[in-house]
Amino acid sequence: MPDFDASLAEILITALLAYLAGSIPFGLLVSRAFGLPDPRSIGSGNIGATNVLRTGSRAAALTTLLLDAAKGLVAVVVARAAAGDDAAQVAGLAAFLGHVFSVWLGFRGGKGVATLLGALTGFGALVGLAAMAAWLGTFLVSRISSLSALVAAAVTPAVALLLGQGQLVAATLFMAVVVFWSHRANIRRLIDGREPRVTRKKP
């Protein structure tokens, strides 16, 4: 059993609350608030910001992106203040899993990228910034959101190790595996050369 700096009860309560918060389907709620189609009915069929962008509203997509990232960041920050660093890591993981496997949507959700970036920023600012830089650099070159997400997730464990944040390697590696799993269809299309580039419609 690992040594935690919080009690088992604190860890379990933190995990549950963070999971429920991470499960909030902001992509769906924002789309409804903007009077847009259900994002699950278009594109990849998930509730993430990239798919919301396919509805034609950059404002809705940006709002979704920020709210989804906030789920991970706020979960980590609040858990750290309440119960310490170990609880913060658990909270980040739970919020991330809540987004991917939302209890409010029958354990379906988004692909976890924005919530991942938010949680990573909460874990450590440099780790989060490095992940964001990897995502942005890949996207500017390729214009492929899924490839950008995969690159960012893949490099994060190594970045954590290089930055002397070895305690984050296991968590970031687990999150990277889930991101790759959630992008399995995208990976097949990338291999076949059929993965679409992001195009933007006028709001």
pLDDT (tens digit, 9 = 90+) per residue, 153-198? 999 999 999 999 888 999 999 999 999 999 999 999 999 999 888 7
Return the pLDDT at 202: 47
pLDDT digits (tens, 9 = 90+) for 110-132: 999 999 999 999 998 999 999 99
Tokens at 97, concatenated:
């899993």
- Average pLDDT of the chain is 91
Q: Is the pLDDT of residue 5 over 70?
A: no
Q: Mean pLDDT over residues 32-44, rounded?
A: 89
42 or 15, which is more confident? 15
Contacts of 95 (CB under 8 A, 6+ apart): 18, 19, 21, 22, 71, 72, 75, 76, 115, 118, 119
Report the distance separating Cα 116 and Cα 186, nearest Å.
18
- What pLDDT was estimated at residue 199? 63
**Strand runs labelled E in the chain:** none
* Pick from 183, 151, 165: nearest CA to 44: 183
Q: Which of 121, 147, 119 is nearest to 135 (CA)?
A: 147
- pLDDT value of position 2: 46
Residue scoring higher pLDDT (57 or 20): 20
pLDDT value at residue 54: 86
pTM: 0.90
Check residue 200 and give its pLDDT. 52
* pLDDT tens, residue by residue, 67-97: 999 999 999 999 999 989 999 999 999 999 9
Q: What is the pLDDT of residue 77?
A: 96
* pLDDT of the residue at 3: 53
* Residue pair 132/117 in contact by the 8 Å Cβ criterion: yes
